[in-house]
Amino acid sequence: MMIRTVKISPFPDQKPGTSGLRKKVPVFQTPGYTEAFIQSIFDSLDGFKGETLVIGGDGRYYNRHVIQTAIRMAAANGFGRVLVGQGGILSTPAASHLIRKSGAFGGLILSASHNPGGPTEDFGIKYNISNGGPAPEKLTDEIFARTGEIDRYLIAGFDDVNLDQTGTFEAGGMAVEIVDPVADYADLMETLFDFDAMRSLIAGGFKVTFDAMHAVTGPYASEILGRRLGVDSKLIYNATPLEDFGGHHPDPNLVHAKALFDRMMADDAPDFGAASDGDGDRNLIIGKGIFVTPSDSLAILAANAHLAPGYKGGLKGIARSMPTSGAADRVAEKLGVEMHETPTGWKFFGNLLDAGRCTICGEESAGTGSDHVREKDGLWAVLLWLNILAVRKQSMIDIVRDHWAQFGRTYYSRHDYEAIDTGRANQLIQALEGGLSNLAGRQVGSLTTERADSFIYHDPVDGSVSHNQGLRIFFEGGSRLVFRLSGTGTSGATLRVYMERHEPDPSLQDQETQAALAPVIEAAETLAEIGKWTGREAPTVIT
């Protein structure tokens, strides 16, 4: 086999963010850029000679090109086998499952998730380790250090492989297996959930709709919801993956999945609606006439998970990212199981899941998952909801209201200020952080601050410590405000402001969210002077 060693100079901007390296496509197209990052990953790993690497992506523009590059580089670097999703497609949770099931050394997931796709839009590369989960921070730090000194990459000289035909062949001395991206994952779902019960629910007239947003979950939803569960194919929208997601943001929130939201609020709405994101790890859940916040969804799923066969033995614990609301904490308390609060990003859940310290995890950004894989999993959340609905035989709205009556309602919202000036965003955070230590006891409108800090995470499994994971301000009475800068954006900075307030009284649980949170929203402006620093009068996205 011909292996070329190509000389390159380091690129200074290859620091992995919350979930891998994300840049605009033209940046990845800079000669040597993609190769430098992939080689830096390989150079940071030990002992993969002859081992298996899983490769797949969310189907966005540039996916096929980078897959070919990654296959040639895997061969040149000495991997023994690559498993590649047919057509270059693997949802993030399916890739996680495939890594675990095949005993692979690791995997490359090519995705910029919920970010838009196309020739001038976003692309991303992420490395997952042998447990199927995102590389932990220690490894992403090593990869970044390596990108600063790299001077060559290795690539084999064979032609493009045919990604569209399943089968096994040899290329450059390495086995290349093109696999069905859906089948194994769909089978895994059948081991966790009661498909008979869900089929009867749907056959009995319970209407389910799903919006795949022209992203990777289309084929998964068509197989699992359509063929295996009997959901009417006309109710599975945008099921064909497109390289530019049809020009939309494949972000399942109330702004970008507004069409689904509107359908679910109509008089003749289906009973259950859901959507997923670019790479299939996020979920949006909407019942007829009721939007369920991701934080509430995590809590309700955790409280009812035992109704599904895969979780009938109960939960070992629950984990949530710090900005996620405290709704799940109340469930953990009632169940008498461990509750963990981690920094933003799924990579922080891996240790807890591997150590058996939690079963279900979630993030406020529409990510929920369990120990069945080591990624968040959009369709998994949809199926757990459907399994619970099939057993409880109640409407979504009744299940949600019951939950609030029992545990209280946690009003929750996130305000995003996208593409703001990076320098100003950093100044805002610095100014706010500088004042945190003097904040206790201050009157802010109708609220009084209780304490404030910059969140530090101590991983209870490997003892690692992660600093600067978001600024938290707690108010008397239990309201909370969190500020952090996004680690997934590709233009300027994005400020995220997270607000929550707990309301135990059932007679006060029917308020409009922004109105219920008004004092906390005002406090955010007073304390952080968002308008002054960002020059914006209002958030770009409210979820």
Q: Which residues are catalytic?
A: 113
Q: Which amino acid is at 518?
A: A
Residue 18 CB, nearest approach to ligand VG1 (Å): 3
Are 377 and 360 a contacting pair, CB within 8 Å?
no
The stretch among 1-9, 194-202, 226-234, 360-368 that binds ligand VG1 (CB under 6 A) is 360-368
For ligand VG1, what does the binding mask look like between residues 282 and 311, x meaning CB under 6 A? x-----------------------------
Query: Residue from 43, 194, 281, 377 that binds ligand VG1 (CB under 6 A)?
Result: 281
Distance of CA 205 to the CA centre of its chain: 31
Contact segment (CB under 6 A) with ligand VG1 among 3-11, 94-102, 359-367, 523-531 equals 359-367
Q: What 3-state class would DSSP assign to 381?
A: helix
In the bound state with ligand VG1, the residue whose beta carbon lies nearer, of 109 and 264, is 109
User: Quick one: 72 or 347, whose CB is closer to ligand VG1?
Assistant: 347
Helix/strand/coil for 220: helix
H/E element, 433: helix 422-435
Alpha helix stretches (DSSP H) within 114-272: 137-147, 183-192, 195-203, 217-221, 258-265
> Between residues 60 and 415, which has the closer beta carbon with respect to Co ion?
60
Kindly state the smallest distance separating residue 376's Cβ from ligand VG1, in Å: 7
Interface positions, 186-215, toward ligand VG1 (CB under 6 A): none
Report whether 116 contacts 250 (CB < 8 A).
yes
Q: Which does 363 bind (CB under 5 to 8 A by kind): Co ion, ligand VG1, none?
A: ligand VG1
Q: Which residues bind Co ion (CB under 5 A)?
A: 113, 277, 279, 281-282
> Of 231 and 381, which has the nearer Cβ to ligand VG1?
381
Rank residues 387 and 494 by Cβ distance to ligand VG1 and give the closer one: 494
- Return phi, psi of residue 86, to 5°: -55, 135
Can you name the residues that pair with 339 across neighbouring β-strands?
318
314-333 positions binding ligand VG1, by CB under 6 A: 321
Residues 6+ apart with CB under 8 A from 278: 58, 60, 111, 112, 113, 114, 115, 117, 213, 215, 216, 245, 250, 251
x/- letters, 470..499, toward ligand VG1 (CB under 6 A): ----------------xxx-------x---
Q: How many angstroms separate the CA atoms of 541 and 42, rounded? A: 37
Closer to ligand VG1 by CB, 43 or 281: give it: 281
CB 488, min distance to ligand VG1, A: 3
Euclidean distance between the first and the last CA atom of the chain, given in angstroms as a whole number = 52
Does the footprint of ligand VG1 cover residue 415 (CB under 6 A)? no
Q: Considering CB distances under 5 to 8 angstroms, the limit depending on partner class, which of ligand VG1, Co ion, none binds residue 502? A: none
The window from 303-311, 340-348, 427-435, 504-512 that contacts ligand VG1 (CB under 6 A) reads: 340-348
- Per-residue DSSP letters for 92-111? HHHHHHHHHHHT-SEEEEE-
Report in angstroms the alpha-carbon separations of 32 from 19, 42, 69: 22, 15, 11
Please work out the total of residues on this chain that contact ligand VG1, with binding judged by CB under 6 A: 18
User: Cα separation of 331 and 336, whole Å?
Assistant: 8
- Name the binder of 218 from Co ion, ligand VG1, none, CB < 5-8 A by kind: none
**Distant-in-sequence, close-in-space partners of 450: CB < 8 Å, separation ≥ 6:** 440, 441, 474, 475, 476
Which residue of the chain is nearest Co ion when measured via CB?
Answer: 113
In the complex with ligand VG1, which residue's Cβ is closer, 310 or 345? 345
Q: How far apart are CA 97 and CA 462, in angstroms?
A: 23
Query: For residue 184, which of 102, 242, 306 has the smallest C-alpha distance?
Result: 102
Q: Where are the alpha helices (DSSP H) in 193-311?
A: 195-203, 217-221, 258-265, 294-304
Residue 19 interacting with ligand VG1 (CB under 6 A)? yes
Q: Residue 238 interacts with ligand VG1 (CB under 6 A)?
A: no
Query: Residue 294 — φ and ψ, nearest 5°?
Result: -55, -35
Q: Where are the alpha helices (DSSP H) in 276-345?
A: 294-304, 327-335
Does 140 help bind ligand VG1 (rule: CB under 6 A)?
A: no
Which of residues 34 and 342 has its CB atom nearest to ligand VG1 in the complex? 342
114 binds ligand VG1 (CB under 6 A): yes
Candidate residues 172, 181, 367, 408; the one interacting with ligand VG1 per rule CB under 6 A:
367
Binder among 194, 271, 277, 296 for ligand VG1 (CB under 6 A) = 277
Minimal distance, residue 448 CB to Co ion, in Å: 38
Nearer to ligand VG1, 72 or 480 (CB): 480
Q: CA-to-CA distance for 293 and 367, rounded, in angstroms?
A: 11
**Binding partner of 137, given ligand VG1, Co ion, none, CB within 5-8 angstroms per partner class:** none
Instruction: Using CB under 6 A, pick the residue from 128, 217, 295, 344 that binds ligand VG1.
Output: 344
Helix, strand or coil for residue 343? coil
With contact defined as beta carbons under 8 Å apart, do 362 and 295 qualify?
yes
Instruction: Give me the residue label for tokens 């194919």.
Output: 233
Residues within the interface to ligand VG1 (CB under 6 A): 18-19, 113-114, 277, 281-282, 321, 344-346, 363, 365, 367, 486-488, 496
